[in-house]
A and B are shown apart, each in its own frame.
Chain A
């Protein structure tokens, strides 16, 4: 166990559905991240939250909507997705501090298939 839990582990949805991915960290960290992992591509950073404030949005389409109600929980709301959005979505957390190594701890991911 890494201390980062993602649910669900697998999700199949149609292009008109609305679903949410959930991430919870039990490590007391101040930062949480969403990544997209597609086949044959490096992990792509989507969003960063530090102390519940969004600090990064890497030009992610608006059909992905993150929510961070507190430092331990992170959601990714999905609506009107496209088949090319099918991927493994990974959540991570870290204790961000300037000037030091920030080790990110990852959850096991949600395998998303968009039909």
Chain B
């Protein structure tokens, strides 16, 4: 079936390094791809999204890359800080899906990012 999944379940980096979290997806009908961050004891928090007709989008210290040819999504975090330690989820959304639930998200399994001081 259609799914969104992650290659690596854990990633450990030193403070100040750049982090790259990867995600593979299989639903080529998705309109948006989204990254969420979930810190311990909290719910997922939206970080950044990218529309399916784009291949790169930059935010504050984060960049998302989309490669539709190989159905791959990545989140790059520059100068990773201890506060970036969390579980990161990719998700996909079909904004024009049939029916009335346009906001449905399909989540991947998640990657645990640990940043060492």
Contact = CB atoms under 8 A, between A and B. Distances in A.
Contacts of B16: none
Interface stretch (B37-45, B62-70, B71-79): B37-45
Interface residues of B, number: 29
Contact of A98 (B43, B49, B95): B95
A43 B107 contact: yes
A42 B103 contact: no
Contacts of B100: 50, 53, 55, 96
Interface residue SS majority, chain B: loop
A100 B107 CA distance: 18
Contacts of B42: 108-109
Contacts of A56: 101, 104
Given A2-B45, A43-B44, A102 B95 contact: yes
A78 interface: no
A104 B44 CA distance: 9
Interface residue SS majority, chain A: loop
A12 B42 CA distance: 19
B99 interface: yes
B114 to A, nearest CB: 17
B102 A97 contact: yes
A51 B44 CA distance: 23
Contacts of A104: 46, 103, 105
A45 interface: yes
Contacts of B34: 101, 103
B93 interface: yes
Interface of B: 4-5, 31-32, 34, 41-46, 49, 51, 89, 93, 95-96, 99-110
23 contacts: A4-B43, A31-B101, A31-B103, A42-B89, A45-B104, A48-B101, A53-B100, A55-B99, A55-B101, A56-B101, A92-B43, A96-B103, A98-B95, A98-B96, A99-B96, A100-B95, A101-B34, A103-B34, A105-B46, A106-B44, A107-B43, A108-B41, A108-B43
